[in-house]
Amino acid sequence: MEVALKMAIQYQHATGHPEKRRFLTPRGGYHGDTIGAMSVCDPVTGMHSLFAGVVPEQLFFDRPSCPFHSDFRPESLASLEDAFTQHADQIAAVVLEPVVQGAGGMWFYRPEYLKRLRELCDRYGALLIHDEIATGFGRTGKLFAGAWAGVTPDIMAVGKALTGGVMTLSAVLAKDAIAEAISRDGVFMHGPTFMANPLACRVALASLDVLVSSRWHDRVRHIEQELAAGLEPLRTADGVRDVRVLGAIGVVEMAEPVAMDNLMAFFVDRTGAWLRPFGRLFYTMPPYIATGDDIGIITTAIRRAVEEKAWR
Ligand SMILES: *Cc1c(COP(=O)(O)O)cnc(C)c1O
């Protein structure tokens, strides 16, 4: 994400807009723990107060409010449009997680939002950066979450499943026009010692071969059905606010924060599942090799935790 942000700044500089050097991003986002990435995380849960004066101040808008499985409401763009009309001359790029906001709240929003956002970015000369670090490589049921909207970002970050979690590697992809503009102006100013580490790249290639030669699409669809069957019954349970399933992601949102320490012990000692709830959320993102039985163990564990009130 640091690299994606730097790329947007250098692109704006190279194309005659050195004044565009801030980022516009929704509340509820999560983009990583380094200083630049932290600056575009949710300002409350991202601990901006602890690092006030150190983390650059970016521009925030309300998180996309219309749920994935609902009609699109144009009003959900109001806060974004306001931010553009007030600050367009300073905005280098809009940064967000397409369709699924992950660690900032496990929230799934309507893909059409991204289409409208793409139009606004084009109208105001801002780049669009998709953070697909959590959503990339099939997690939401599409190879990349941006595909739900048919939207191509200018810059995209991938990580996590890129190497199947086996080695540390992330990557930033950009449209040719971005790369060419930066290279005409000079060089891209980023080059840490282990960038494009050959061993990590080889692992990524092997992992991607496994993914594309597997029936990942069917597996994710089955996992989606199994998660829905296992978690939907909780919709009416005491203390539950919402149940959401998309691709291989299952979420049970409670009305109040859950007792995390008690719960982790409960899961390990009593259910045979290792789960890590946070805030008001139980969630699971199982690997695609998970069988129906595996998913059953996970959903039964969450149902028991809720029904036996282990979250109190
Ligand atoms: C995990 C995550 C990151 C951070 O990736 P690191 O490789 O840990 O820096 C950024 N964005 C999203 C959406 C993530 O889920």
**pLDDT tens by residue, 191-236:** 999 999 999 999 999 999 999 999 999 999 999 999 999 999 999 9
Q: Which residues does residue 284 pair with via DSSP β-bridges, in sequence order? A: 250
Residue 59, CA distances (Å) to 24, 27, 87, 306 in order = 5, 10, 9, 37
d(CA 69, CA 109): 8
Q: How many Cα atoms occupy the beta-carbon half-sphere of 176 within 13 Å?
A: 0
Tabulate helix, strand, coil % of the chain (nearest 5).
40, 15, 40
**Residue 283 near residue 259, CB atoms below 8 Å:** no
Q: How deeply is 159 buried, as exposed, middle or buried, from its count of CB atoms within 10 A (0-12, 13-18, 19+)?
A: buried
Residue 279, CA distances (Å) to 105, 257, 276 in order = 8, 5, 10
**Residue 84 near residue 124, CB atoms below 8 Å:** yes
**22-41 pLDDT, tens per residue?**
999 999 999 999 999 999 99
Does residue 49 surpass a pLDDT of 90?
no
Residue 45 binned pLDDT confidence (cut-offs 50, 70, 90): confident
Pocket test for ligand 1, best of 108, 160, 197 (most atoms within 8 A of CB): 160
Does residue 48 surpass a pLDDT of 90?
no
H or E stretch at 246: strand 240-246
CA of 165 to the centre of ligand 1 (A): 12
CA of 183 to the centre of ligand 1 (A): 27
**Residue 66 near residue 110, CB atoms below 8 Å:** yes
pLDDT at 75: 95
**290-305 pLDDT, tens per residue?**
999 999 999 999 999 9
Does residue 311 surpass a pLDDT of 90?
no
Residue 32 CA, closest ligand 1 atom number: 4
**Residue 283 near residue 251, CB atoms below 8 Å:** yes
Strand extents, DSSP E, 160-239: 171-174
Q: Nearest residue CA, atom 5 of ligand 1?
A: 32
Residue 138, CA distances (Å) to 154, 219, 222, 280, 291 in order = 20, 10, 13, 26, 17
Residue 261 binned pLDDT confidence (cut-offs 50, 70, 90): confident
Residue 46 binned pLDDT confidence (cut-offs 50, 70, 90): confident
Q: Nearest residue CA, atom 8 of ligand 1?
A: 32
CA of 128 to the centre of ligand 1 (A): 17
pLDDT at 312: 87
d(CA 169, CA 182): 23
**132-151 pLDDT, tens per residue?**
999 999 999 999 999 999 99
Q: Which residues does residue 151 pair with via DSSP β-bridges, in sequence order? A: none
pLDDT at 152: 98
What pTM does this model have? 0.97
CA of 40 to the centre of ligand 1 (A): 12
d(CA 200, CA 206): 10
Phi-psi region of 272 (alpha: psi -120 to 50; beta: other; left: phi over 0): left
**103-113 pLDDT, tens per residue?**
999 999 999 99
d(CA 10, CA 32): 21
Pocket test for ligand 1, best of 5, 30, 45, 135 (most atoms within 8 A of CB): 30
Does residue 47 surpass a pLDDT of 90?
no
Q: What is the mean pLDDT of residues 266-272?
A: 95
**Residue 227 near residue 234, CB atoms below 8 Å:** no
Residue 259 binned pLDDT confidence (cut-offs 50, 70, 90): very high
pLDDT at 40: 97
Q: Which residues line ligand 1 (CB under 6 A)?
A: 1, 30-32, 97, 102-103, 131, 133-134, 159-160, 170
Taking all residues of the chain, what is their mean pLDDT, rounded to a whole number? 96
d(CA 174, CA 187): 15
